[in-house]
Amino acid sequence: MNGSLTPNSQAILALTAAFPDDRDSPSEAEPLSAEEYGLLAGRLQVMEASPADFLGRRAAQLFRDSSDLFSEERLKALSMRASRVEAALRVWSSKGIWVLTRSDKAYPRLLKVHLKEDAPPVIWGGGSIDIVRGGGFAVAGKASKDPSGEKQGLKHGELAACSDITVISTGKVGAEAAAMRSALKNRGLACQVPAKALDNYDSNPSWKKLLDSGRLAIVSPYPPETPDEDISEQDIERTAMALGDCALLVNADSEEDSAWLAAEELLGKYEGMRLFYWDSQAPNPALAELIDMDMQPIPEFRGVVDFHNFVQGPPPAPAAPAAHKPGQYEEVPPEPGAQAPGANPPAEITDPVLLLKLDALRREVAELAATEGMTGGAVLKTVISELIAEGRIDPVIGVIIEKVGYSQPR
């Protein structure tokens, strides 16, 4: 991604990012924050200009036209940093870190949807970019080893993995770490927005193995060299939640906790974010305030199909068959009720309850089969997971059926 840097991305990095060599080549100006860049981006839209124009012939005029927001001297000094962008990219790339700016097509759409003008102008990450930009189910909560909170993380992490939905969290101890651990254990995908500099993960063999496997991604709105004490946990929680299609808040019992503060910000300042809470039935004044802001309780899911539809919406309806054209070859359909030669007639089911359940199962399988990219193996796995969740079959038997009941084409 870093090898195809656009002029707009180069300008955004110059205006907003700290570089690895800042200690050796300090800038005369402080880089723009996310909120400051949001103001500047809005001004550029009004002027029908782009960030790259700060590096071209229109630069002098743009400095003057934006002087009511930021001083001309600050914008000039920041623009001059564009010559150092390539060197910074080489350092980050050598550590396996990629960079995306708000002008890149691969930049996560949900960050812009949920955070609007405050979406980070630049994000750094490792692992699969597709995981980061693909949405998912975010789990947030205070750092706590409370068993009930961890149980919620484990349960929803497994549901997400079985539903091919990415788990997103900062990874701190408690429900967040449990959800990520459960997702990866069940061969699912996870995206972590750590409250530590990405440099900390560069030399960790176990993390590198997971990142290289394509099942884990890490991402941060902070440059990789940022000291840990300069990273805002509230900002990190907000970014993690905003990367998801929706988010679950666990153990939100303190108005001083970073997850609670991030949830309040998403509900109050930005709106439009689907946030849910786990109801522990214990008195919780802090949670009551978020409920007043329209945070909803997380429902109990009947299985992976129910969970998938909750997070991403129901699958599209099957396309109607194309109309027959004159002269078009068409296989002669069998007569109603006709059977293949030698086939045994199916056993007739007369129990009305069984008929209703069979009809519901047929509808679910039809929806799964119609889902784009859903293979026969994935359909079988999902149906088996549903039956196990409902207690209809033993989990061991389900695994055996899954392994031997569907052969992938060679």
Cβ neighbours around 71 below 10 Å, total:
13
Residue 8 lies in a domain: yes
Q: Residue 70, Cα to own-chain centre: how many angstroms?
A: 34
Residue 106 lies in a domain: no
Residues 6+ apart with CB under 8 A from 327: none
For residues 183 and 288, membership in a common domain is answered with yes
Residue 278 lies in a domain: yes
- How many whole angstroms separate alpha carbon 34 and alpha carbon 117? 8
Q: Tell me: the pLDDT tens digits for 269-291? A: 988 899 999 877 777 888 889 99
Helix H segments across 246-393? 258-265, 285-292, 304-312, 352-370, 376-389
State the maximum Cα–Cα separation within the chain, in Å, rounded to a whole number: 88
For residues 301 and 193, membership in a common domain is answered with yes
- How many whole angstroms separate alpha carbon 280 and alpha carbon 59? 56
For residues 28 and 154, membership in a common domain is answered with no
For residues 401 and 307, membership in a common domain is answered with no
pLDDT recorded at residue 202: 66
pLDDT recorded at residue 396: 58
- How many whole angstroms separate alpha carbon 309 and alpha carbon 316? 11
- How many whole angstroms separate alpha carbon 258 and alpha carbon 264? 10
Phi-psi region of 281 (alpha: psi -120 to 50; beta: other; left: phi over 0): left
Containing structural domain, residue 403: 350-410
Residue 112 lies in a domain: no
For residues 179 and 270, membership in a common domain is answered with yes
Contact 382, 165 (CB under 8 A): no
Residue 86 lies in a domain: yes
Grouping H, G, I as helix, E, B as strand and the rest as coil, residue 98 is strand
For residues 52 and 127, membership in a common domain is answered with no
Contact 157, 167 (CB under 8 A): yes
Residue 318 lies in a domain: no
Which CATH number goes with the domain that contains 254? 3.40.50.450
For residues 173 and 298, membership in a common domain is answered with yes
Dihedral Cα 147, 152, 155, 158, nearest 10 deg: -110
Q: Which residue has the tokens 């405050």?
A: 118
Count the residues in the chain: 410
pLDDT recorded at residue 319: 62
Q: What one-character-per-residue DSSP string does 186-242 give?
A: TT--EEE--SS-GGGGTT-HHHHHHHHHTSEEEEESS-TT--GGGS-HHHHHHHHHH
**Last-in-domain residue among 52, 75, 94:** 94
For residues 67 and 204, membership in a common domain is answered with no
Contact 259, 242 (CB under 8 A): no
Q: Bridge partners of 126?
A: 218
Residues 6+ apart with CB under 8 A from 40: 15, 32, 66, 69, 70
Q: Which residue has the tokens 């600050």?
A: 74
Angle at 22 between CA 199 and CA 62, to 5 degrees: 115
Collect the ranges in the chain with pLDDT lower than 70: 1-4, 24-27, 202, 315-376, 379, 386, 389-410
pLDDT recorded at residue 251: 85
For residues 194 and 293, membership in a common domain is answered with yes
pLDDT recorded at residue 382: 73
Phi-psi region of 41 (alpha: psi -120 to 50; beta: other; left: phi over 0): alpha
- Tokens standing for 333? 């359909």
pLDDT recorded at residue 204: 75
Residue 113 lies in a domain: no
For residues 167 and 68, membership in a common domain is answered with no
CA neighbor of 190 nearest in space, from 123, 233, 243: 243
- How many whole angstroms separate alpha carbon 105 and alpha carbon 100? 9
**Last-in-domain residue among 48, 73, 94:** 94
For residues 87 and 133, membership in a common domain is answered with no
Residues 6+ apart with CB under 8 A from 242: 110, 111, 114, 115, 119, 266, 273
**Last-in-domain residue among 311, 340, 375:** 311
For residues 144 and 241, membership in a common domain is answered with yes
Residue 224 lies in a domain: yes
The total number of structural domains that make up the chain: 3
- How many whole angstroms separate alpha carbon 27 and alpha carbon 25? 6
